[in-house]
């Protein structure tokens, strides 16, 4: 009996040490040789409490992101990602190899898409911690690599940002590649929000800063939920967000959102009395800058919402298009707006001033888009000046000042206290908004629309277009073929292809003579190779050879004399120009072909 019990215990121990596939793992440590495969959203390693998970999230169809996310909330909010710029296919694998390498390989290409830079220096295991930090550690539990040191767009409680650390905004809510907004603690100690010269990473415009150059040292997100910048001596230089809720009862994160705003969010946990009554959703506790629409002012770049757009701050950033414009990409409003009408003609003979009207927009401005400024004028004068100027897309008027602005419009924004009137110039027949601000019906009696509809609906017209197109294509092909193959039609002469003459001369092997613009080769023609010929090949890319070719063909083709060598044919195929003569076994063939004295 004792033997059977001992045998069963040994078998159990052996079974526990055998590897077996799992999609979710809650063990504290992840052993060397472990891996995850991108199959669905259930392929992950969870932290001991289950609050965070590391693994694959499907972004779109069969495209996967290696990420860390909040695992106990329905949204599965992502706080870190490895391959936002380069998603991998279904079946791809992230593996902690036996030698401590941690890398992600794509299933389709087999290429390595991402790797932790620990370089396998003594890594013994990996772990997904309850703080949201994923670490690679050695036998002494010293972290050799951690996700907290390589943030993407989010920081979590207990995480710090050191000098040169940078957060970058994702491209859209569902696209995790980098966009143009950055939140960075510079090497000089200044903490700032700035835009880049996208797609480059170089700084374009700083739109918020702590002005702490020379003293800023570290950004701390403490366990109480406060975020602040400290000096090297730990004194607080700038309070970024002072949370009033506990991390015990609320999940917390601070994210540089894709609209360029840095927001501190909280989400109530299931337990905790202080979370009672809160909506089960992420709530913004604070954000910087207070109004990005007014803060971003760029000489180059599209401002907060892109070119030709309008930024409005109302419990968040709202991007809009002016009347007569629409979003370039409705799924990505930060790309800006485009005109829905044809711009005004600059032809002085037809200025089209009567084809446009103005849509008035109060408190709307496009700073730094102006190319003309007029003082001590009326609004009506400003309107007429813009109508008469084909470059003018918008006119702004305030207190006798008139600014004419051209496309693309920069830094568009609504500011209730600026007192500026925006006058958007729109083509009448193509607009959807009338001068009075109401919607206009499309002109059903438009001549072009009626004629176009009749023609396009007529099968006879379509047949005519088809026949016309076929005729033009066939004519063009015939013309080009004739031009390439036989540009000079000469009576009683045979036309040879280059391939035929190359074969007749055995690859232009036997040279009979050479002149200033040509070389003569011996060849044989006919099915039995019985007729000897002399092939005069004119040098390509020489202007004189072109002239000689035309002159010689023209002269000899019109001449018939028993003392002259007979011209049998020619070749004029692309750059190849050759004359084919009867071979003279006696006498000086070269003398005739090159004009030399016997």
CB 402 within 8 A of CB 370: no
The half-sphere exposure of 471 on its side-chain side, counting CA atoms within 13 A, is 6
**Residues whose CB falls within 8 Å of the CB of residue 369, separated by 6 or more in sequence, listed in order:** 394, 405, 406, 408, 409, 410, 411
The number of beta carbons lying within 10 Å of the beta carbon of residue 207 is: 21
Residues making up the binding site for ATP: 536
CB 45 within 8 A of CB 128: yes
d(CA 242, CA 249): 16
Residues making up the binding site: 536
d(CA 393, CA 297): 19
d(CA 462, CA 455): 8
**Residues whose CB falls within 8 Å of the CB of residue 520, separated by 6 or more in sequence, listed in order:** 511, 512, 513, 514, 534, 535, 536, 537, 589, 590, 593, 594
d(CA 64, CA 78): 13
Could you tell me the CA-to-CA distances from 18 to 15, 28, 37, 259 in Å, in that order? 5, 17, 19, 49
Helix axes 459-485, 447-457, angle to 10 degrees: 80
Helix (H) or strand (E) holding 45: strand 44-46
The number of beta carbons lying within 10 Å of the beta carbon of residue 125 is: 19
- 10 Å CB burial of residue 591 (0-12, 13-18, 19+) is middle
How many Å separate Cα 221 from the centre of its chain? 34
- 10 Å CB burial of residue 432 (0-12, 13-18, 19+) is middle
């Amino acid at each position: 009996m004792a033997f059977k019990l001992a045998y069963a215990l040994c078998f159990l121990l052996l079974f526990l040490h055998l590897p077996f596939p799992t999609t979710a793992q809650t063990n504290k440590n992840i052993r060397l040789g472990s891996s995850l495969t991108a199959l669905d959203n259930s392929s992950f390693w969870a932290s001991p409490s289950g609050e965070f998970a590391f693994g694959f999230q499907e972004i779109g169809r069969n495209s996967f992101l290696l990420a860390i996310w909040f695992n106990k909330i329905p949204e599965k909010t992502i706080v870190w990602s490895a391959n936002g710029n380069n998603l991998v296919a279904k079946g791809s694998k992230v593996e902690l190899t036996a030698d401590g390498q941690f890398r992600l390989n794509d299933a389709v290409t087999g290429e390595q898409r991402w790797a932790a830079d620990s370089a396998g220096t003594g890594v013994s295991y990996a772990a997904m911690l309850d703080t949201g930090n994923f670490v690679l550690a050695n036998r002494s539990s010293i972290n050799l690599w951690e996700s907290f040191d390589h943030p993407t767009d989010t920081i979590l409680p207990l995480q710090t940002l050191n000098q040169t650390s940078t957060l970058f905004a994702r491209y859209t809510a569902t696209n995790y590649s980098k966009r143009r907004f950055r939140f960075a603690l510079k090497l000089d100690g200044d903490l700032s929000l700035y835009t880049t010269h996208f797609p480059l990473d170089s700084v374009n415009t700083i739109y918020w800063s702590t002005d702490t150059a020379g003293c800023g040292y570290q950004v701390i997100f403490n366990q109480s939920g406060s975020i602040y910048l400290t000096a090297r001596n730990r004194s607080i230089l700038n309070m970024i967000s002072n949370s009033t809720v506990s991390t015990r009862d609320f999940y917390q994160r601070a994210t540089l959102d894709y609209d360029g705003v840095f927001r501190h969010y909280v989400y109530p946990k299931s337990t905790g009395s202080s979370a009672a009554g809160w909506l089960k959703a992420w709530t913004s506790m604070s954000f910087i800058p207070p109004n990005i629409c007014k803060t971003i002012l760029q000489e180059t770049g599209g401002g907060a919402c892109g070119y030709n757009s309008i930024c409005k701050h109302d419990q968040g950033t709202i991007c809009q298009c002016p009347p007569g414009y629409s979003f370039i990409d409705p799924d990505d409003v930060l790309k800006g707006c485009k005109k829905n009408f044809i711009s005004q003609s600059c032809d002085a003979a037809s200025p089209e001033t009567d084809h446009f009207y103005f849509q008035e927009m109060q408190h709307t401005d496009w700073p730094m888009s102006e190319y003309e400024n007029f003082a001590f004028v009326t609004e009506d004068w400003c309107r007429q000046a813009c109508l008469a100027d084909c470059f003018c897309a918008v006119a702004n008027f305030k207190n006798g000042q008139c600014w004419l602005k051209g496309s693309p419009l920069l830094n568009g924004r609504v500011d209730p206290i600026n007192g500026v009137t925006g006058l958007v110039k729109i083509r009448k027949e193509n607009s959807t908004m009338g001068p009075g601000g109401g919607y206009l019906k499309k002109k059903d009696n438009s001549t072009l629309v009626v004629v176009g509809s009749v023609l396009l609906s007529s099968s006879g017209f379509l047949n005519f277009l088809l026949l016309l197109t076929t005729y033009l294509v066939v004519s063009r092909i015939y013309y080009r073929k004739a031009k390439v193959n036989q540009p000079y039609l000469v009576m009683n002469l045979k036309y040879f292809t280059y391939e035929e003459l190359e074969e007749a001369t055995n690859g232009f092997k036997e040279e009979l003579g050479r002149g200033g613009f040509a070389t003569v080769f011996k060849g044989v023609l006919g099915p039995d190779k019985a007729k000897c010929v002399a092939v005069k090949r004119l040098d390509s890319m020489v202007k004189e050879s072109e002239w000689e070719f035309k002159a010689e063909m023209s002269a000899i083709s019109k001449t018939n004399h028993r003392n002259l060598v007979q011209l049998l044919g020619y070749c004029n195929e692309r750059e190849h120009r050759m004359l084919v003569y009867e071979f003279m076994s006696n006498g000086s063939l070269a003398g005739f072909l090159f004009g030399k004295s016997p």
